[in-house]
Amino acid sequence: MSVSKTLGLWAALLAASGLLAYGLASAHFPAALLLGPMLAAIAFGVRGAPLRVPKPGFQGAQALIGCLVAHAINPEIAGTILDDGFLILLVVLVTVLAGGIVGYVLTRMRVLPGTTAAWGSSPGRAAAMVAMAEEYGSDPRLVAFMQYVRVAAVVLSASVVARLLTEPVAASSAGTMPAQALAPISVLTTLCVAVIGAGIALALRLPAGALIGPMILGAGLHATGLASIVLPPVLLDAAYATIGWYVGLRFTRETLRETFHALPGILVATVAVILLCAGWAFGLTRILPIDFLTAFLATSPGGLDSVAIIAVGSKADVSFVLAVQTLRLFVVLITGPLLAKWVARAAPPDTPEAG
């Protein structure tokens, strides 16, 4: 495709994203600048637009979101983990188990092969699940499609729940850092934290390293007063949009065609996982002194970056949400292979992945 046509498609996507984001922001939806671009990108991807967000661009956006989260984190997150560690671990295990149950049912009903159903239903980071699924012999295309359908559905459902449970706020203040003088030295320091944190975490091959590295480094510096973590709104807006485009453009016409026969099962599985986690979130409000929005975001089986954006932009307890989501990410990476084998054993004897 010619450069001019590619630039024209990006311009059209940018315009459509802006219109949708403006409409959602006017309706007081949290993370409108994430949700609008994601919906626009899904439409463009399904219609065959050959657009992709380069991986470095996506990682850069994650690093900026990590800095945004770091600004919201305070020493309370450590206290949250220490005080409610057992319950947080229980929340994580129940969420992982919900994904395993859905994968088991899909396998028994012959909707999907065993390990593919397991990896596709696993509530971990989509890119990590796809990579591990391919390593263990599953169809990476189907796993990727399941994962990104779930991420999109979680963003939509979490945004709706947050909108219903949060008092309307000014569109410009949702999910942004408090208004303050953006001193050039503070902005430069924050960008250094993003680059250094992401670089170290990616070199160590940490899961979601581009997000977690700046989040941990920035939180430590910000909470101790050693550095002020601030970012201009234009950079945060660009990060939101980039993540939305990255997820949305994964939904291509080719992927839909290849997975069309499994689409009903994938949609049912996605809704089932979200509903199971929502039910567990309701139960948490009876056990812990937390509100339903906090519990819902903590148990949501979506991407850490997307959930973090929604949590920061609403009245949720960011410390609790991030503690649960971060711990779950590591638990899923550890238990994923075991869960995949367990689900594969549920396959009927005449299927390729049985046993």
Taking only the tens place, the pLDDT of each residue in 202-236 is: 998 876 788 888 988 988 887 777 888 888 888 88
Question: Rounded to whole angstroms, what are the CA distances from 303 to 158, 342, 347?
Answer: 11, 24, 28
Q: What pLDDT, on the 0 to 100 scale, is given for residue 124?
A: 62
Determine the Cα–Cα distance for residues 333 and 132; give it in Å rounded to an integer: 9
Which pLDDT value is given to residue 108? 76
pLDDT for the residue 147: 78
- Cα–Cα–Cα angle for 305, 297, 272, rounded to 5 degrees: 105
Domains of the chain: 12-345 (1.20.1530)
Q: What is the DSSP letter of 122?
A: -
What amino acid is encoded at 80 in this protein?
Answer: T
The pLDDT of residue 180 = 47
pLDDT at 337: 67
How far from chain centre, in Å, is Cα 143? 16
C-alpha span between 170 and 191 (Å, rounded)? 27
- Burial zone of 320 (CB within 10 Å; 0-12 exposed, 13-18 middle, 19+ buried): buried
CA 184/CA 54 separation, integer angstroms: 28
Q: Residue 66: its pLDDT value, please?
A: 84
What's the pLDDT score for residue 287? 82
Single-letter code of the amino acid located at 59? Q
- Looking at residue 354, its pLDDT comes to 47
Token representation of residue 296: 């819902």
pLDDT score recorded for residue 321: 86
Which residue has 């939101």 as its token pair? 240
Interatomic CA distance for residues 226 and 100, integer angstroms:
43
Q: What is the pLDDT of residue 191?
A: 92
pTM of the model: 0.71
Q: Cβ contacts of residue 26 below 8 Å, gap of 6+? A: 171
- Sites in the chain below the pLDDT cut of 50: 170-175, 178-181, 352-355
Task: Report the pLDDT value the prediction gives residue 133, as an integer from 0 to 100.
Answer: 66
**What is the pLDDT at residue 127?**
59
Dihedral of the CA atoms 336, 337, 340, 342 (nearest 10)?
Answer: -110
Residue 203's pLDDT is what? 92
